[in-house]
Structure 1
Amino acid sequence: MTSPAPFPFERLSRRPDVEGPDLVASDAADRLILDESADLRAGAPAGSIAVIGDTHGALALAAAHDGARDVRVHQDALAGERAIVQNAGALGLGDRLQVVSLDADAVRSARVVLVRLPRSLDALRDVAALIATHASPEVVVVAGGRLKHMTRAMNDVLGEHFGRIDVSLARQKSRVLFARDPRPTHDPVPASGREGDLEIRAFGGAFAGARLDHGTRLLLAHLPADPAGGASEDPLIDFACGTGAVAAHLALRHPDAAVYASDQSAAAVASARATVAANGVADRVEIVRDDLLSARPAASASFIALNPPFHSGAALTDRLAFRLFADAARVLRPGGELWCVWNSGMAYRGDLERLVGPTRQVARDAKFTVTVSARR
């Protein structure tokens, strides 16, 4: 009897996610998770395998390739989620998996859960609580990552929700943690914080948590007192909104304005909705999960605020910002303004000039720069 063909990792693509020579669709940690879970997956009934944090489909699609059916997979970033769907179609495995939200149904009665360890301990805590509360009592969690991004604290977080934690040997600078004996607790709830008169809510995967990061604080301190736009057809836009702090600030400061907020992260969108609700402005803030501002028409906005991300997973990259700058330019009408804060070391001013229009510095401190670019 011939052995089945190995899974073709080389055929996985990151598209439509940002691509580059330092950005990959799978790595050694994915392979180690799959190898360490092979026996568990082989005996798992259909519909009992769930995958969380699978960046571009390596885990879920390899499991499906090995014979698993009805594999549930969640990826926080919308571009990554779309890459999973496209890779599934290209490999003829689309009928073997379901892309799901990160909620109770994602792991309900699951017996094997494969996890790419998130960078944030709070994000891991949310995932662990969800699995422990809703998966099968016999569930085994196989959670792995690159050694340089793993800490002993990850074992401790899993230990809050599972009675037994085991650790694999390291291989190719990767390692796997096994969690068994779940201790049901409760579904994740957003953390709460307050900055001045601004309430902030954050689920575990949201950048900066329930506080203002340094760059956002500098941006809020220098936004214009009377920005153009604000009508329902020309809302003030919080692009890559994170926890929605800028959107809530705009709605509080401009009580007659409509505000639109967008982020590709499911955790960010859930956090932003909780933030605007906590500030009593949910009726004037529309929040959507979107890759870029694809739902907005061209030349339709007068004001966009942006604190661009510069990490794709654990990798540092400037390519994310370039995509955001270009789409902000598409959505801005001539003369419309992009107010942007960025880590000064990224030196984005020339890119903003090229992609958007004339750019001037509004503020700068030891770490961050605030600029305003007028759409040419």
Structure 2
Amino acid sequence: MVEFDWARLSRWPDADAPNLFASDAADRLILDSAAATLAGLEPRDVVVVGDTYGGLTLAAATLLGARPDDRIRVHQDPVVAERALAANARALDLADAYRSCELGPAVAVGAKAVLLRLPKSLDALDEIAGILASSAATDVTVFAGGMQKHLTVAMNEVLLRHFERVDVGHGRQKARVLTVRGPRVAAPDDAEAWPRRRFHRDIAPGLWVCAHGGAFAADRIDIGTRFLLSHLDQAAPDARTAVDLACGTGVLASALALRRPGVRVIATDQSAAAAASASATVEANGVADRVGVRREDAGEGIPDGTADLVLLNPPFHNGAALDLRVGRMLVGAAARILAPGGQLFTVFNSHLDYRPLMQRMVGPTRQVDRNAKFTITASTRR
């Protein structure tokens, strides 16, 4: 078997540091568990879902042999993960070994082996498992793994809704792999189609929220966003152009467009699940003619100084870990996107205290309101 040099992988363009790594024990255990199965397959038979920085894809490609006309299919939710895979593939001369796909039937049609990094969200796992079970070959084997601290018995239960058998492997270096077989062709009786839809009558003037499995808060509205919505009419009342930065399911963008018919909005997020959810939410609320949805990193495609208003509910976790770098990056993006005199309208967990950062990077910042958990601020671009 051809050995893959995991040490050559890089996290770029994601943050890097001596204690951060581009692969982990779960990646290596998934590949080792699947190696015997992969040895008898063609690249077109193999699907990778949830690869973080490309290690699973490129290790499988090294084992199978890279052929431009016969590629491994890959789905990654974060756009940064796609870019890391592309950069690592170029560095290892494997750029033609795979093709990126949206999460849908096309990614899994006829697949005989799937290498899956288990998502932390059970909803995300349910959507992925449903697609694999309905589209892959009937003899498909799914090698689903992760670090043991992130695995739960509930994951087995979700997988068994879509597959006949889940075998739990032995742990190694605090990682574990579930081997999944026997797709149930008929969807479970209680299954709902993705994206899920919910109508929120309490959000004026009434708001549909649509969500794919990997979207934060699903078809609910998280309490921070609800707090911001209660003050949304105070956000730059004269704004004609607005950006919902890190838009999630598109709640803020859709609510703003419904309340202000003269405003044009861009909803942007780096997550494929979020962007797909926001597109569905915008359509469901009938504002697609005034709200454009984009998948990009921190609004990178929006020209400088073009927005009168930026709405932001910054995430403060990277997976399960507290990580404020994303919030800082988004505040910097807002400063770039806003026109002079434009407003950044933000809600954040009060204990994180983003206010000095916004004061420094954007401009004068005032508190709009505060409750037991959240603070809303308005920052004016210098």
Alignment of 1:210-359 (within 5 A): 210-225=219-234, 227=236, 230-231=239-240, 235-359=241-365
User: After superposition, what is the alpha-carbon deviation per residue over 1:232-256, rounded to whole angstroms, capped at 9, x for unaligned?
Assistant: xxx2111110000001100111012
TM (norm. structure 2) is 0.93
Distance 2:9 2:328 in 1: 23
Give the AA of the match of 2:270: Q
* Residue in 2 that maps onto 1:154: 155
Matched, 1:191 2:183: no
Distance 1:20 1:244 in 2: 33
Q: Structure 1 266/58 Cα, relative in aligned 2: closer, same or farther at 3 Å? A: same
Matches of 2:80 and 2:18, distance apart in 1: 18
Secondary structure at 2:257 match in 1: helix
Cα distance in 2 for residues equivalent to 1:105 and 1:175 = 28
Contact 1:230 1:258 in 2 (8 A): no
- Determine which of 56, 60, 73 is the counterpart of 1:59: 56
| CA shift in 2, pair 1:229/1:78, >3 Å | farther
- The question of whether the paired residues in 2 share the 8 Å contact of 1:362 and 1:371 is answered with yes
Distance 1:23 1:191 in 2: 35
Equivalenced residues, count = 370
Matches of 1:244 and 1:325 in 2, distance apart? 18
Q: Is 349-358 or 186-195 further displaced after alignment?
A: 186-195
**What amino acid is the match of 1:117?**
L
The 8 Å contact of residues 229 and 236 in structure 1, kept in 2 or not, is answered as: no
What amino acid sits opposite 1:151 in the alignment?
Answer: T
TM alignment of 1:73-84, pairs within 5 A: 73-84=74-85
Shift of 1:228: 5.2
Q: Is the 8 A contact 2:23 2:55 kept in 1?
A: yes
Helix, strand or coil at the partner of 2:126 = helix
The answer to whether 1:201 aligns with 2:202 is no
How many angstroms apart in 2 are the aligned matches of 1:25 and 1:18? 10
- Whether contact under 8 Å (2:41, 2:64) holds in the other structure is no
Q: Does 1:96 align with 2:101?
A: no
User: Which residue identity lines up with residue 279 of structure 1 in the other structure?
Assistant: N
CA distance in 1, matches of 2:344, 2:44: 46
Instruction: For 2:194, give the aligned amino acid.
Output: V
Query: Which amino acid letter does the alignment assign opposite residue 221 of structure 1?
Result: S
Partner residue, 2:33: 36
- Cα pair 2:275 2:293 within 8 Å, conserved: yes
- Identify unmatched segments of 5+ residues in structure 2: none
Runs of 4 or more off by more than 6 Å in structure 1?
Answer: none
What residue in structure 1 maps to residue 372 of structure 2?
A: 366
State the SS of the aligned residue for 1:66: helix
- Structure 1 residue 366 displacement after superposition: 1.9
Query: What CA distance in whole angstroms lies between the structure 2 residues aligned with 1:170 and 1:143?
Result: 13
Q: Compared with structure 1, are the counterparts of its residues 354 and 313 closer, same or farther at alpha carbon in structure 2 (3 Å cutoff)?
A: same
In the alignment, the residues of structure 1 paired with residue 19 and residue 367 of structure 2 have an alpha-carbon distance, to the nearest angstrom, of 31
| 3-state secondary structure, aligned to 2:230 | helix
The AA in structure 2 aligned to 1:154 is M
Query: Counterpart of 2:131?
Result: 130
More displaced, 97-106 or 109-118?
Answer: 97-106
Deviations 1:250-288 (A, max 9, x none): 011101211111011111111111111111111111111
Judged with a 3 Å threshold, the aligned counterparts in structure 2 of structure 1 residues 173 and 293 are, in CA distance, closer, same or farther, namely same
Q: In 1, distance between residues paired with 2:110 and 2:22?
A: 29
1:166 matched to 2:172? The reply is: no
Q: Following superposition of structure 1 onto structure 2, how do residues 10-29 of structure 1 map, counting pairs within 5 Å?
A: 10-20=7-17, 23-29=20-26
Alpha carbons 2:243, 2:267 under 8 Å: kept: yes
Deviation per residue, 1:204-244 (Å, 9 max, x gap): 0000000110111111112244625654xxx2111110000
CA distance in 1, matches of 2:315, 2:214: 14
CA distance in 2, matches of 1:10, 1:317: 24
- Choose 67-76 or 91-100, whichever is displaced more: 67-76
Distance 1:20 1:368, change over 3 A: farther
| Distance change >3 Å, CA 23–CA 244, structure 1 → 2 | farther
Q: Provide the C-alpha distance between the structure 2 equivalents of 1:336 and 1:14, rounded to a whole number of angstroms.
A: 35
